[in-house]
Structure 1
Amino acid sequence: MTDGNGFLGGRLLVVAFEGWNDAGEAATGAVRTLKDLLDMREIMTVDPELYFDYQFNRPTISTNEDGLRVIEWPSATMFGPRAPGAASVPLAEDAELRVSGTNAGNIYLLLGTEPSRSWKSFAAEVFDAALAADVTGVVFLGAMLADVPHTRPISIFVSSDNALVRSELQIERSSYEGPVGILSILSDASETAGIPTLSIWASVPHYVHNAPSPKAMLALIDKLEEVIDVVIPRGNLVTEAAEWESGIDTLAAEDEEMAAYIAQLEQARDTVDSPEASGEAIAQEFEKYLRKRGDGRDGRADGRTGPDGPRQ
């Protein structure tokens, strides 16, 4: 730690990437929510020519407000507060429209698409910018497809590779070994640069993988708000999460096989969450998950920040 105030006391970079690390668009959705609510400016954008395969991450074209056709290239951008260090205490009339709290002026964001190549160079460029901005901690957000029911609270896994962060926040270190995504590469680069890290992951029901998951996004924002010590307005997200769950309920009611499968997931989840469940039993559930998903199939697990985090 650099300032004696612990992980929460300095400038925090919150990171999310589209792609393998972003089931249900939950992680990028949470960071976009922050970006829309905070008064931020662009600090750095990487050159897409260096890091992206356009046949894999294709550019998109759209019409802007002036009626012009514009091409948008895949990239990654870092944002910072226009007034670093300043507390954002909203006025009464906009109290529900802005992030507030004593740490709001210390939040930086990194948002983009997972690069296709040159990950080492990409990480070096990102952390050159982070060090220049005096970032003292990094929070990685991710979401993975998992065998979990949509009817129960979204499972959140929190872990850190930094011993001081683990001690301060009473969390554990992930023990996963296997394929990784860009978040694990950036985490390793961050720790090497002397910037401590924290990873927050949400589990998204795999049987609704084609649609955004506002419930998972909401769960990440809830945990993020707790970690970065700010108050984040939820807007319509609570209503959207309820409608998402209700919509899946309607589909399941028309499909007996799907309903039976969800009931099995609910029973398994309730067993793990029951007061009678031992730590060993919970550990066995996670180990079974890892054996099944740890090879990265379907984007269901990502490196050290996967589901083998703290067994809470």
Structure 2
Amino acid sequence: MKAGPILDRRGRRDVRFPDIEPNAEILPMNVITGNVLVVAFEGWNDAGDAASGALRLVKDAGEYVPLFAVDAEQYYDFQYTRPLLSIGEDGRRSLSWPGTQIFGPAETSVDAESALYLMIGTEPSRSWKSFAAEVVDAMLAIDISAVVFLGAMLADVPHTRPISIFASSENGELRNSFELERSSYEGPVGILSVIGEAAQKVGIPAVSIWASVPHYVHNAPSPKAMLALLEKLEEVVGLAIPRGDLVEEAEEWERGIDALAADDEEMAAYIAQLEQARDTVDSPEASGEAIAQEFERYLRRRGDGRSGEEPWRP
């Protein structure tokens, strides 16, 4: 992997979004330079499919081609993560198997300073150490300078407020540049943490971006959380990402929950309590530690064995 700084002024990132041009006004003064890999996995780390959904939106909006795929037979238990059967427009049936792929730009420019790569997959069922080692080997092969993990958690947050984002890094330079936290969480983790540790051991720094999904509306999709993840991702990678219909979908999602709450007094009262708690956290007197603590409480609940498909009640 090439040596060099991981932060730089606004560089040109080699990703083509045919329908939109990058808007320099929304980009930060510092961005991660070099090739960046953005990672999202379906499963334990992906409440409301927000992380995987956000990254698929990036892939579909850009011009990407598959570069690398893990051996699904080696890492997945198909009784636990089953293949999906679909029927095409021509009436033919086909199977889609769980797996993990890395995608890269279809073309690279000679004058490009960096490129954005994507890794999308399903959390593996076994052999996590070998899986992480294989992923890190792929990172080194395409000269990745930094990795950004996207995740989503069920949390005690109201749908009526902006989605809480918790961003952290073990790298001091990245924390200082982007005003990130350093997570103090101890407990069970998902595959993102395993890959992050393996990458760190070979000198590839990581940023983790997590969105808080209201636990009482945990069913996928969660467009408002997807939108929040994309906005934070833009800050880190320095690229304006096209939204498509996501803004309208997020507004419709919120209106739909408002309508449900209007017919349920208990739900409305509970949301009001969450709103009050959130407004307290957002007050000028509160620090970023409050969001970090909520993030850690979520992971501890997951460690207690509660399913990510089940809402958590106080």
Bucket of the pairwise TM-score, normalised by the shorter protein: 0.7 to 0.9
Query: Aligned partner of 2:132: which letter?
Result: A
Aligned counterpart, 1:93: none
Query: Aligned partner of 1:294: which letter?
Result: R
- Relative to structure 1, the CA distance from residue 253 to residue 53 in structure 2 (aligned partners, 3 Å threshold; closer, same or farther) is same
Which segments of 5 or more consecutive residues in structure 1 lack a partner in the other structure?
A: 88-101, 301-312
Partner of residue 226 from structure 1, selected from 212, 235, 250: 235
Question: Post-superposition shift, 1:295?
Answer: 4.0
Contact 2:224 2:250 in 1 (8 A): yes
Which secondary structure state, in structure 2, belongs to the residue aligned with residue 107 of structure 1? strand
Partner of residue 42 from structure 2, selected from 4, 15, 18: 18
- Measure, in 1, the Cα distance between the counterparts of 2:295 and 2:58: 31
- Measure, in 2, the Cα distance between the counterparts of 1:11 and 1:41: 16
Which secondary structure state, in structure 2, belongs to the residue aligned with residue 144 of structure 1? strand
Question: Post-superposition shift, 1:233?
Answer: 1.1
Contact 2:155 2:294 in 1 (8 A): no
Partner of residue 153 from structure 2, selected from 131, 144, 148: 144
Give me the CA root mean square deviation. Answer: 2.0
Deviations 1:200-250 (A, max 9, x none): 000000000123110000000111111111111111100000000000000
Contact 2:175 2:182 in 1 (8 A): yes
Question: Post-superposition shift, 1:65?
Answer: 4.0
Query: Aligned partner of 1:125: which letter?
Result: E
- Measure, in 2, the Cα distance between the counterparts of 1:139 and 1:59: 27
Question: More helix per residue: 1 or 2?
Answer: 1
Partner of residue 160 from structure 1, selected from 156, 165, 169: 169
Contact 1:3 1:9 in 2 (8 A): no
Query: Aligned partner of 2:41: which letter?
Result: F
Aligned residue-pair number? 282
Instruction: Please give the residue correspondences for 1:93-242 in structure 2 after superposition, counting only pairs within 5 Å.
Output: 106-242=115-251
Query: Aligned partner of 2:188: which letter?
Result: P
Partner of residue 300 from structure 2, selected from 285, 288, 294: 294
- Relative to structure 1, the CA distance from residue 34 to residue 241 in structure 2 (aligned partners, 3 Å threshold; closer, same or farther) is same
- Measure, in 1, the Cα distance between the counterparts of 2:260 and 2:194: 38
Deviations 1:102-137 (A, max 9, x none): 77x600000010000000111111111111001111
Provide TM-score, normalisation by structure 2.
0.84
- Measure, in 2, the Cα distance between the counterparts of 1:283 and 1:216: 20
- Measure, in 1, the Cα distance between the counterparts of 2:175 and 2:91: 51
Which segments of 5 or more consecutive residues in structure 2 lack a partner in the other structure?
A: 8-30, 309-314
Matched, 1:3 2:4: yes
- Identity across the alignment (%): 59
- Measure, in 1, the Cα distance between the counterparts of 2:85 and 2:69: 19
Question: Post-superposition shift, 1:2?
Answer: 2.9
Contact 1:8 1:228 in 2 (8 A): yes
Provide TM-score, normalisation by structure 1.
0.85
Contact 2:44 2:190 in 1 (8 A): yes
